[in-house]
Amino acid sequence: EVQLVESGGGLVKPGGSLRLSCAASGFTFSSYSMNWVRQAPGKGLEWVSSISSSSNYIYYADSVKGRFTISRDNAKNSLYLQMNSLRAEDTALYYCAREVVPDAAFDYWGQGTLVTVSS
Amino acid sequence: QSAPTQPASVSGSPGQSITISCTGTSSDVGGYNYVSWYQHHPGKAPKLIIYDVSKRPSGVSNRFSASKSGNTASLTISGLQAEDEADYYCTSYTSSSTLVFGGGTKLTVL
């Protein structure tokens, strides 16, 4: 059974940093591109970042470019999101999602981890 | 990258059909056949219901269908059921090699 479990969320002050993790199981992690998607309270889904299976291709939404860094460790079946210079508008539930390439579709999602940026 | 436009809300009675539109540009929805649709019940993980414009993943009801014309993609749900009440999002691959979600549509089953 495919499972994606996010962790690392919490309360952080504006300007602070946080590292999210996503532990994958039930599939060959190293064969899939992975993504982070977020949902701010009361708002819609927003794509954040993607990373290819071998980390060769990495992309970011303009809203996080230069502040967030996506990475993965295929040996540990884990996906990460390093978030720096956090802003109030980064407050959201962050999901990791497996991508079906080249269809750009997310067939499995985690339950999310909540990030709150507030003083 | 601007989000494709979806109606904020749609509604229908049980048994009826509804259609949700997703209007983008030639740089996203209109330029690629990589349009997907997701059903999202509050408090749960989003669920993929359509990919590649009109394909259904295994296990998704055939009451869900979708198409695209120009810069507008459309999701149709036929034979509405109470369990279909949820938020629906389109997403598309873009010319920047990124992905973009539509603004989302809240479906109410009356």
Which one of A45, A59, A103 has the shortest CB-CB distance to B52?
A103
The predicted-structure confidence for B6-29, as pLDDT tens digits, reads as follows 999 999 999 999 999 999 999 999
* Interface with chain B: mutation pick from A58, A109, A113, A114, highest number of B CBs within 10 Å: A109
pLDDT of A88: 97
CB contact under 8 A, B101 and A102: no
The predicted-structure confidence for A55-67, as pLDDT tens digits, reads as follows 999 999 999 999 9
pLDDT of B86: 97
Contacts of B59 (CB under 8 A, 6+ apart): none
Which ranges constitute the DSSP H helices of chain A? none
Residue of chain A with shortest Cα separation from B3: A46
Whether residue A37 lies within 8 A of chain B, CB to CB, comes out as yes
pLDDT of A24: 98
Contacts of B55 (CB under 8 A, 6+ apart): none
pLDDT band at A112 (very low <50, low <70, confident <90, very high): very high
